[in-house]
Chain A
Amino acid sequence: MRRRYGRELSVAASIAVLGLVLALLAPGYFSGENLADLFLANMPVLLIALGMNMVILTGQIDISVGSVFAVCGVVAGVLAKAGMPVMLAAAGAVLAGVAMGAINGALVAYVRIPSIVVTLATMVALRDGLRWATQGAWVSDLPAGFQWLGLSQASYPVLIACTAVFFVAATGWGLRNLAGGRAVYATGSNAEAARLAGIDTNATTCSVFVITGALTGIAAVLNSVRFNQIPSNAGLGLEMKVIAAVVVGGTAITGGSGSIAGTVLGVILLGAIGPALTFLGVSAYWEQALQGAIILAAVVVEAIRERAERRGAVRA
């Protein structure tokens, strides 16, 4: 909600610097094939981060998205194998995501259990429940129409790109222009003031978890149709990638401030940096360490800026 886009600009600048280094040292990075691969690999992170951004904006967190992602993928595969048309199977998977998001949201908003506890519990329960249900086996022998959603391998990335653009635009526009978006910022910034202003803060909190569940379901479906098997252990560590992207994108972990543009830039920066190392001839083992360093740098810069702002406010 800030008028200043300082954070977005500094993330964009980091991406530009990275791009420049790559253009000079490893122009092969910008081959269409590599970029398309990168995009497809990071699409789940992007879609889920759009929802996670809202969850964090309301002052909550959802660490169960990796498990939800795995469950939704398996649900899609199982439904398709049971003979459902592929679109219906996809819808079923998204619905499963919505249901799991609703459970998280209801427990946080109405039973008032801290979101870190609720989603830690659902993360473990869903992950182990899935392992038990599938006995660790992957879903294979998928029907022919399942892969690429029945589209050709060439047109599929176009569909993904359209989907991603649609959801980025929709969430970005909604947060800025819908009353519900305003409620998200107000709830995260000062829940008591929002309640006194007549905003249903419980419904707001619950909804952002449901939206995140739905986006996770969509991401899972779009990801699982890329392969001819669906792993029952998909999405391990996905929640950390998503939360990191949102935080690097400038959304305050305490809620109330941040933007979709920042989140998209955060996903791009963290997604681009790993493969870039390989292209630059640096050992891929450095990827995690470098990502960690970026996250740390982002929050430290934020903390320093906030302190400076507070001091400025006192003087004013």
Chain B
Amino acid sequence: MTALDAKIPSGSLAEKWDRHKFESKLVNPANRRKYTVIIVGTGLAGASAASSLGELGYNVKSFCIHDSPRRAHSIAAQGGINAAKNYQNDGDSIQRLFYDTVKGGDYRSREANVFRLAQLSVNIIDQCVAQGVPFAREYGGLLDNRSFGGAQVSRTFYARGQTGQQLLLGAYQSMMRQVEKGTVTAYPNREMLDVVVANGQARGIICRNLITGALERHAAHAVLLCTGGYGTAYYLSTNAVNSNVTAAWRAHKRGAFFANPCYTQIHPTCIPVSGTHQSKLTLMSESLRNDGRVWVPKQQEDKRAPQTIPEAERDYYLERKYPSFGNLVPRDVASRNAKSVCDEGRGVGESGLAVYLDFADAIKRLGPDVIRARYGNLFDMYRKITDEDPYQVPMRIYPAIHYTMGGLWVDYNLMSTIPGLHVLGEANFSDHGANRLGASALMQGLADGYFVIPYTLANYLGGTLFQGITTEHEAFKEAESSVQQRIDMLLRVKGKETPRQLHRRLGQLLWDHVGMARNAAGLHHALAEIPRLRDEFWQNLSVPGEPNNLNKNLEYAGRVADYLEFAETLALDALHRTESCGGHFREESQTPDGEALRDDANFSYAAAWEFKGVGAKPELHKEALHFEYVKPSQRSYK
């Protein structure tokens, strides 16, 4: 085990970023076009990085698996984006956003990164408004804000229920402007299948053209992975069906450490599972908890229609247990409580795996028109999927995998343990600790892409000696041939099981044993089963069709193969962390009243795993976390 150096600048918290920017090396404007930068992924982090680096004059190559950069899954974020603007005069500040984020992350994030994020949050809003992002406004023309996801101030900016879409379109449009100017070249329909490391530096990628099936080599001076999270390891999640861990995992296999994979966020307000055909779960924005009240019947197995259950026989359990935050407790607390009332046999709906989110009081108080104005599109979506009208009957909701705080380990400069390989947005691990607060993912993706990487990448490029490496270099040949071999292996199995069947089984295993609550026995079980499932995959997989054209089943099989390797590291990380923290709840570690109990004496570190071979135990490296400004305490939302 080696201690990891996060390269946090010296000085007081408030000075670190400014000092670092001043001390960083620069790249002369005339020299920038001589540097090629590969950016993989075009979500908020990737598209914002592509546009800002293109504007600066670098030669940017942008890759995505979608048919257009505009389709990345950031687009699905509903609720909003936080910023410490204090436009509402209600006590917000950079300091408070910083404090809330460190506390919300259950003291498992890096103070310096979180403070920088809070500082940059204000610039993001300015930039997005300048792009024409139609954030909601007050009648006087000023920007509107709402309180969101457990915050006691109103700092969330939003564009109806489509904030992620509007922010992504802003970043995408800025990126397309650079495409027109020739600084950015867009490569859609490409899947990155390996990072090329030459002389110890990340110098390119191997990708598959998903339309022609051809493998392509691309060389660069630096590679930025902006490839999102790994929530679809669980099969059912709120992530898009094509979201995957492949790029991050392949980078991990080339030497990038994977940090805190057990930190997965389970979102409390999703539409419950309806059957085995289900391909994904749909999130209902947690802004609904601002007006909806969460309850279950007091009695077990109460199958009466919700409207017929009298007030006295309902348990508004969040309001009862957490009087000061009520229905607005953070995501991990809300999810865990939903699970525990369902485990008690008080869940509702056919499966018993759901709780009510009731708008009857809000409709009575505010009238249906106000509710329609606030949540109309969400109510419509709910009705389309469930065939029930939430204006008449309470919604049924249940937690689902939504976001992954873990990711590739990066230092303060967003650089991984492979020199030159930078990781931005959800794909890295850095800012959210063990639990992410609502409306913070969009903030982090854009902060990384618009405002952090332009400085830290220049510092890397300006301070590094590069040898002339072309795509004919041995490292490219070796990487391409290993990618080709893996594709051939997938096609050669010719068994009977579809990638989806195998993926669904992996997902169920992870959900049952590495889900909302984990214990040692369950994790050992998962660790025994995952290799068996992986063997079955390689013995009984069916991938019809050819590799040399559009073959979605082949793409999917490759991603499932990577999940079957990655899942082991995820479960192992969960097993080693015997404390509870944020999204990781270990049943062995709880307070007498059932809340998560951290173990700061033994686990105040980020766990970064080094790949040692498929099925071999990865090596643990620790980055100790120091809390100078926010003193860790037991989180309480009572």
**Is chain B a partner of chain A in the same complex?**
no
